[in-house]
Amino acid sequence: MEAGSNHFMPIKKIFHSCSTQALGAGSRHRAGGRLVKCRHFLAASILLAWPPLGSSDDASLDYRPAGLAIVGIDAASRSANVELAKNTLANPASSGPSPIDNNYPVSAAEPSETVLEIPSDAQTQSTSIQAMFFSESLARQRQIYRQAHKALDDGDLRTYAQLRNSLEDYPLLSFLDYQRIARSGILDAKTIAGFDANYDNSRLTRKLQRQQLRTLARNRQWRTFIENYNSSTKNTRLRCQYAHALFETGERQAAISLSTELWLTPSSMPDVCDPAFHELKSGAENFPDLAWQRFDGAYRAAEMTLARYLERFLDARRKPQAKQLLEAYASVNMLGKQWQSRLALLDASFAEPSDKRQVLALWVKRLARQDLDAAVKLIGKRLVKNDIGSLPAAQSQLLLEELQPYVITRYALGDYNRLPAVYKKIGKPLDQKSLEWLIRAHIAKADWKKLPGMIALLPPEARDSERWKFWTLRAKQLAGQLAPEEKDALAVLADAASFYGFAAARYSNTHFRLQPQHYTLSEKDLQTLASSLHLRKAIEHFIHAEIEQANSSWAIGLREIDNQNWLMAAYLASRLGWHQQAILTAARADAWRHYAIRFPRIASDEFAQQGLRYNQPPEWFYATARQESALASHARSSAGAVGLMQLLPSTAKAVAKSLDREYDKAQLFEANYSIDLGSSYLDQLYQQFGNRALGSAAYNAGPHRVSAWLKNLRKPIPLEAWIETIRFSETRQYVQNILSFGLIHAALYNGTEPAAAGAPTADNLQEQASISRPWPVFSFIGEPEGMVKPYSQQVRRDDTT
């Protein structure tokens, strides 16, 4: 086993790689540690960068870079899924989102506009779906499928074969056969080829091939392994086993070539690579050079555990040099005092200027993590003045541009108040990241007069975003310098259905416009969707509560159809009651104003009851569930947070105890139980901070962090200003989402009876349209005066009687 091996994906990789992984039982995509909870939801290769509600400027409101897995649902829930879908179709106005006329603005600006009734073809649409996906023949096949699955589980292959023969045209027959082959242990090439020929299912075929190769390697059947190996595979474990097989079968030249390529990976490799590496060490004449190349790569990648392990394989010439480099990294606190000797070490160790820059950046960043003030002093004294030895000017500039935003960010995470002074010491960088942190520092200081000028320094694309357009105008308003024509600009910004658009509506005393859109599925649309075998498979898996397979098949199915048809796929998922996939597919289709499928009304009774119990707006609890799990009650994060409200079991247990209620971990996957405990926890955070926006921030990042941020605050600032200064971009976006989602839900459903499970009625929409005042965008989540006070001025409700 190589030193430095670890089985945990780096945080950065988790945040941006889970876009390619299907969600399912056992999936893990959450980075624990510094940020407490990566609460964003992603499923089955759904794209990462999603714009907000109707806005192209700020890709945010449905952005979920890492996240949650959907665990399998117990067998008892399968029939419930069928009934859910059937009930949704039978009564479209009661359990699924209903259409809203796409010309209707949720606004009082034009109360005379016509409000259309729910389209009369909704029931016809449901009848078509019923016939296509819930026919009597399909119902019989589903029953046989479940029986066959049970026979396979019980090892009753005779009964299985009899049942299987009745499913020749059933979409999940391939999955059933895959499971039979995978469990049989008979994984020869002929069987796998026959499976692939029958179903042309590359995904399941690849899974069988990988299982076959693992079995062959375990049994040391190396020649058969080579015969069945696919040279195009990128699987590191299989590639290492293939190299081992080549050594074992005497193909040493090919084995050494592949092993060398694998060896030079600048990170720890899995244990299965050890046999091939052992052969390489004894068979490659230039192995000391290979050891140095890998040491070099590992060192520059900050893989120091691996670098220390590799030191033992270096020759006498290189070993002292490696030791010096390792000591230099370990004692970066001496970097300033030993500057010239460290530069000489770089010159002796690395020929390429870019490699020298990379190592120098590595040292300074480590110094910044240990002693931020010392790093700032070093940058100001050496780098700003270009005192970097033999490093070319172009590389020096790249180094400075890399380190400036790094130290600015680290200061911002700790103390905004020192940021302006630090900014000057490190050379007044003009990169977007540094400037945005500096702007936030001035927002935290309520320095409204300077803010517009600072925003003007941003690159044009950033400066023209909704975020900074809003803050340019809002700062002038707070400073009493907003010109008449700029008041109009603030009102125009209010047309955007986004967090900043809603905030602009509040401060321009105008009405925000959601401008909902709706799409009605036609018979032709349904036929188009049904033409995708994988979409049909996904629906069947969903009905059988095989969630991992359902999500994976859905993702493949979306690739089978034209992307212009993704919107109708989202509507189909919604009509079937598969809200999680409807939400994600709508986002993929850029269907930001199709609110009915993005914000379906579910668990209305429970949210309403919790609102009454805690005297809180139900929209707050709903918005949290929508943000946390995309309304998937069987969501599970890799950090262990589970259920609709994504509670950690330890938190849920503490909340249950505070309520004098029995705690049952298994019940966390039940929607009502999760809503019960999650709502109680949110209310506790509200009692602690006296503000729902702060409570949501604490729900995401932890109460201790919110307390620390409040302690760093010097004076009261408006609520939206405090949200803008939240240090973690994830938490900042999270809180903005909660406000926006809750507002949209309230706008769509306000005034309807809590017991109603459908979309707003036409009468209710007409009532909303006739409201003669603007929507108070933050009234349901902030303090009445909309100000956030420093920690010392906070009146925490749990401290009062």
Last residue of a domain, one of 404, 428, 445: 445
Q: What is the pLDDT at residue 355?
A: 96
Q: Read off the pLDDT band of 268 (50, 70, 90).
A: very high
Q: How many other C-beta atoms lie within 10 A of the C-beta of residue 346?
A: 22
* Three-state SS at 401: helix
Tokens of 787: 């100000």
Do 262 and 351 belong to one domain?
Answer: no
Residue 637 β-bridge partners:
68
Tokens of 524: 């032709």
Do 280 and 348 belong to one domain?
Answer: no
Distance, in Å, from the CA atom of 427 to the CA atom of 376, rounded to the nearest integer, reads 10
Q: Which of 179-193, 325-339, 787-801 has the weakest average pLDDT?
A: 787-801
Instruction: Assess whether pLDDT exceeds 70 at residue 686.
Output: yes
Could you tell me if residue 640 is inside a domain? yes
241: closest CA among 261, 220, 260, 257?
A: 220
Last residue of a domain, one of 267, 284, 301: 284
783 residue type, one letter: E
Q: What is the pLDDT at residue 766?
A: 34
Do 699 and 794 belong to one domain?
Answer: yes
Question: Cβ(626)–Cβ(611) under 8 Å?
Answer: no
Q: What is the pLDDT at residue 649?
A: 96
Question: Cβ(541)–Cβ(179) under 8 Å?
Answer: no
Cα dist from 793 to 448, 581, 707, 713, whole Å = 22, 44, 12, 10
- List, for residues 23-70, the tens digit of each pLDDT value: 233 333 333 333 333 333 333 222 222 333 333 333 334 433 333 443
Rg, C-alpha atoms of the chain: 30
The three state secondary structure string of 58-99 is CCCCCCCCCEEEECCCCCHHHHHHHHHHHHHHHCHHHHCCCC
β-pairing, 635-637 vs 68-70, is: antiparallel
CATH code, domain carrying 671: 1.10.530.10
Do 761 and 623 belong to one domain?
Answer: yes
Instruction: Return the ∠ at Cα 788 (arms to 414 and 468), rounded to 5°.
Output: 70
Q: How many other C-beta atoms lie within 10 A of the C-beta of residue 90?
A: 14
Helix (H) or strand (E) segment spanning residue 329 = helix 319-330
Cα dist from 638 to 23, 24, 27, 41, 464, whole Å = 11, 11, 7, 12, 37
DSSP string, 269-329: --GGGHHHHHHHHHH-TTHHHHHHHHHHHHHHTT-HHHHHHHGGGS-TTTHHHHHHHHHHH
Higher pLDDT, 390 or 21: 390
Tokens of 365: 């960043």
- List, for residues 526-571, the tens digit of each pLDDT value: 999 999 999 999 999 999 999 999 999 999 999 999 999 999 999 9
DSSP state of 338: T
- Please compute the mean of the pLDDT values over residues 68-88 and round it to a whole number: 49
Q: What is the pLDDT at residue 672?
A: 95
Distance, in Å, from the CA atom of 583 to the CA atom of 68, rounded to the nearest integer, reads 15
Indicate the number of domains in the chain. Answer: 3
Tokens of 441: 């520092």
Could you tell me if residue 568 is inside a domain? no
Backbone angles phi, psi at 69, to 5 degrees: -110, 155
Distance, in Å, from the CA atom of 341 to the CA atom of 403, rounded to the nearest integer, reads 21
- List, for residues 592-648, the tens digit of each pLDDT value: 999 999 999 999 999 999 999 999 999 999 999 999 999 999 899 888 999 999 999
343: closest CA among 390, 413, 277, 299?
A: 390
- Please compute the mean of the pLDDT values over residues 503-521 and round it to a whole number: 89
Do 246 and 345 belong to one domain?
Answer: no
Q: What is the pLDDT at residue 787?
A: 86
Q: How many other C-beta atoms lie within 10 A of the C-beta of residue 282?
A: 7
Could you tell me if residue 189 is inside a domain? no
Question: Cβ(601)–Cβ(715) under 8 Å?
Answer: no
Output the average pLDDT for the chain. 83
Distance, in Å, from the CA atom of 628 to the CA atom of 738, rounded to the nearest integer, reads 10
Q: What is the pLDDT at residue 78?
A: 52
- Please compute the mean of the pLDDT values over residues 276-302 and round it to a whole number: 95
Task: Tell me which residue range forms the domain holding 662.
Answer: 604-799
Residue 772, C-beta contacts closer than 8 angstroms, at least 6 positions apart: 108, 111
Residue 468, C-beta contacts closer than 8 angstroms, at least 6 positions apart: 439, 455, 458, 462
- List, for residues 377-426, the tens digit of each pLDDT value: 999 999 999 889 889 999 999 999 999 999 999 999 999 999 999 999 99
Q: Which of 224-228, 351-355, 494-498 has the weakest average pLDDT?
A: 494-498
Could you tell me if residue 14 is inside a domain? no
Distance, in Å, from the CA atom of 564 to the CA atom of 653, rounded to the nearest integer, reads 46
Question: Cβ(631)–Cβ(602) under 8 Å?
Answer: yes
Question: Cβ(108)–Cβ(767) under 8 Å?
Answer: no
Q: What is the pLDDT at residue 82?
A: 55
Residue 589, C-beta contacts closer than 8 angstroms, at least 6 positions apart: 563, 566, 567, 569, 570
Distance, in Å, from the CA atom of 333 to the CA atom of 372, rounded to the nearest integer, reads 11
Could you tell me if residue 218 is inside a domain? no
632: closest CA among 23, 162, 169?
A: 23
Do 336 and 280 belong to one domain?
Answer: no
Tokens of 21: 């992984």
Q: How many other C-beta atoms lie within 10 A of the C-beta of residue 662?
A: 8
Higher pLDDT, 796 or 721: 721
Q: How many other C-beta atoms lie within 10 A of the C-beta of residue 154?
A: 10
Burial annotation 587-612 (CB, 10 A radius, 16+ → b, else e): bbbebbbbbbbbbbbbbbebbbbbbe
Q: What is the pLDDT at residue 80?
A: 52
Could you tell me if residue 629 is inside a domain? yes
| Torsion sign over Cα 102, 103, 108, 113 | negative
Q: What is the pLDDT at residue 2?
A: 61
Do 679 and 753 belong to one domain?
Answer: yes
Q: What is the pLDDT at residue 127?
A: 75
Distance, in Å, from the CA atom of 183 to the CA atom of 201, rounded to the nearest integer, reads 18
Tokens of 662: 């029995």
Do 241 and 335 belong to one domain?
Answer: no
Helix (H) or strand (E) segment spanning residue 367 = helix 353-370
Question: Cβ(407)–Cβ(380) under 8 Å?
Answer: no
Question: Cβ(219)–Cβ(242) under 8 Å?
Answer: no
Last residue of a domain, one of 385, 419, 445: 445
Do 734 and 636 belong to one domain?
Answer: yes
643: closest CA among 677, 617, 605?
A: 677
Helices (H) and strands (E) in the chain, counts: 42, 4
- List, for residues 729-743, the tens digit of each pLDDT value: 999 999 999 999 999
Q: What is the pLDDT at residue 104?
A: 25
Residue 274, C-beta contacts closer than 8 angstroms, at least 6 positions apart: 1, 2
Distance, in Å, from the CA atom of 598 to the CA atom of 588, rounded to the nearest integer, reads 12
Find the length of the chain.
Answer: 801
Residue 376, C-beta contacts closer than 8 angstroms, at least 6 positions apart: 368, 407, 422, 425, 426
Do 275 and 361 belong to one domain?
Answer: no
Distance, in Å, from the CA atom of 300 to the CA atom of 363, rounded to the nearest integer, reads 10
- List, for residues 744-779, the tens digit of each pLDDT value: 998 888 743 332 233 333 334 333 432 223 444 445
The pTM of the full predicted model, rounded to 2 decimals, is 0.82
Distance, in Å, from the CA atom of 661 to the CA atom of 161, rounded to the nearest integer, reads 49
Residue 68 β-bridge partners:
637
The phi-psi region of residue 50 (left if phi > 0; otherwise alpha if psi is between -120 and 50; otherwise beta) is: beta
Maximal C-alpha separation, the chain: 87
Instruction: Assess whether pLDDT exceeds 60 at residue 211.
Output: yes
Instruction: Assess whether pLDDT exceeds 80 at residue 693.
Output: yes
Do 232 and 342 belong to one domain?
Answer: no
Could you tell me if residue 763 is inside a domain? yes
- Please compute the mean of the pLDDT values over residues 654-662 and round it to a whole number: 95
- List, for residues 126-148, the tens digit of each pLDDT value: 678 888 888 999 999 999 999 99
Do 232 and 335 belong to one domain?
Answer: no
- Please compute the mean of the pLDDT values over residues 640-665 and round it to a whole number: 95
| Torsion sign over Cα 347, 349, 353, 357 | negative
Could you tell me if residue 406 is inside a domain? yes
Distance, in Å, from the CA atom of 319 to the CA atom of 329, rounded to the nearest integer, reads 16
Distance, in Å, from the CA atom of 668 to the CA atom of 547, rounded to the nearest integer, reads 17
Question: Cβ(582)–Cβ(563) under 8 Å?
Answer: no
Question: Cβ(205)–Cβ(195) under 8 Å?
Answer: yes
DSSP state of 635: E
| Torsion sign over Cα 224, 229, 235, 241 | positive
DSSP state of 381: I
